[in-house]
């Protein structure tokens, strides 16, 4: 498969696609029509792009901001005019607070909680390495239960279907096929550059890194984990970047756990969801030129 450079995410009743500094949010409205809005975002500085690890940390936080903005934008289509005016006025302030709250909540649930949960096992386990392994397994278990549990709600289930549409559109293009409903429908809903895979890789790498930390103070152990999280995110980004461009057997093996998780976080979309994904792609990416380049 040829690397296209495009990526995206599911939003409320739609798909966001990103290509460089161009972002498109396509949403299926209540009247059945598809609306697509294109926006320009601040490009990644060239010196950051060329700096391994740092570019991963930058991409992680930048993607959070872009993704959150896309979610707010998609949600605005389902508000009445009065609510829409209020939300537009406070969107920037709320978005900053929501991003900060989300990061703190995520660190609490996926970092602090597994850390202390594993330390309760210290009565029976006296090896720091085994405790770090137990901590990692608890973290992975919480994550799996979380994405599985929220997927039982109707809104999130539909979001997982749009997530599948996003992946299938990208896979269709990167496999050298014309972007249409029929071809997208038969494409895979699993993709190695997915955010789900990124999170899972972060968890797996964190197990290896935290097994190497040997300090007596629990507070220091926790501080080291929090401080090293951006570094682990940077390493995970580099792996995902490599995985998206390689079909190496070892890379595919290491990508397998993340792809397995996508069986939960992506679902097969309906044709009308695929149409939304196609509309989003076509707003920011010339797939016909991409396929012509591949032929030549």
Print pLDDT tens along the chain (296 aa): 788 989 999 999 999 999 999 999 999 999 999 999 999 998 888 899 889 889 988 988 888 889 888 998 898 888 765 555 555 555 555 656 666 777 788 888 888 899 998 888 877 877 888 889 999 999 999 999 999 999 999 999 999 999 999 999 999 999 999 999 999 999 999 998 898 889 889 988 999 999 888 888 888 988 999 899 888 989 999 898 888 777 788 888 888 888 999 999 999 999 999 999 999 999 999 999 999 987 76
**Residue spans of beta strands (DSSP E) within 53-100:** none
Name the nearest CA neighbour of 156 among 144, 147, 165: 147
pLDDT value at residue 123: 74
pLDDT value at residue 75: 87
pLDDT value at residue 280: 98
Report how far residue 64's alpha carbon sits from residue 134's, in angstroms, rounded to the nearest whole number: 29
pLDDT value at residue 284: 96
CA-CA distances (angstroms) from residue 58 to 46, 63, 265?
12, 8, 24
Query: Beta partners for 7?
Result: 18
As a 3-state breakdown, the chain gives helix, strand, coil percent values, each rounded to 5, of 70, 10, 25
Query: Is 172:184 a contact under the CB 8 Å cutoff?
Result: yes
pLDDT value at residue 282: 97
pLDDT value at residue 43: 85
pLDDT value at residue 85: 55
Report how far residue 202's alpha carbon sits from residue 206's, in angstroms, rounded to the nearest whole number: 6
pLDDT value at residue 78: 85
Q: Give residue 90's region: left, alpha or beta (phi > 0; psi -120 to 50).
A: alpha
pLDDT value at residue 84: 55
pLDDT value at residue 83: 57
**Residues 197-231: b if buried by 16+ CB within 10 A, e if exposed:** bbbbbbbbbbbebbbeeeeeeeeebeebbeebbbe
């Amino acid at each position: 498969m040829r690397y296209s450079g495009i990526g995206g995410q599911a939003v409320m009743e739609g798909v966001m696609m990103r290509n460089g500094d161009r972002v498109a949010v396509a949403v299926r409205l209540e009247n059945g029509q598809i609306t697509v809005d294109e926006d320009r975002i601040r490009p990644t500085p060239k010196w950051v792009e060329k700096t391994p690890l740092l570019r991963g940390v930058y991409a992680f936080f930048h993607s959070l901001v872009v993704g959150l903005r896309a979610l707010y934008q998609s949600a605005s289509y389902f508000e009445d005019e009065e609510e829409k005016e209020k939300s537009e006025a406070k969107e920037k302030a709320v978005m900053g607070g929501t991003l900060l709250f989300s990061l703190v909540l995520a660190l609490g649930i996926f970092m602090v909680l597994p850390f202390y949960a594993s330390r309760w096992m210290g009565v029976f386990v006296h090896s720091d390495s085994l405790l770090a392994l137990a901590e990692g397994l608890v973290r992975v278990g919480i994550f799996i239960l979380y994405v599985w549990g929220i997927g039982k709600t109707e809104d999130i289930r539909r979001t997982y279907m749009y997530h599948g549409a996003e992946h299938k559109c990208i896979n269709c293009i990167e496999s050298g096929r014309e972007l249409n409903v029929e071809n997208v429908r038969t494409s895979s809903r699993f993709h190695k550059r997915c955010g789900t895979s990124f999170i899972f890789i972060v968890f797996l790498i964190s197990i290896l890194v935290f097994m190497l930390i040997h300090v007596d103070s629990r507070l220091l152990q926790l501080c080291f984990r929090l401080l090293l999280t951006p570094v682990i995110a940077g390493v995970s980004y580099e792996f995902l970047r490599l995985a998206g461009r390689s079909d190496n057997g070892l890379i595919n093996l290491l990508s397998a756990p993340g792809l397995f998780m996508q069986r939960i976080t992506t679902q097969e979309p309906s044709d009308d969801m695929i149409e939304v994904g196609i509309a989003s792609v076509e707003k920011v990416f010339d797939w016909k030129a991409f396929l012509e380049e591949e032929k030549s």
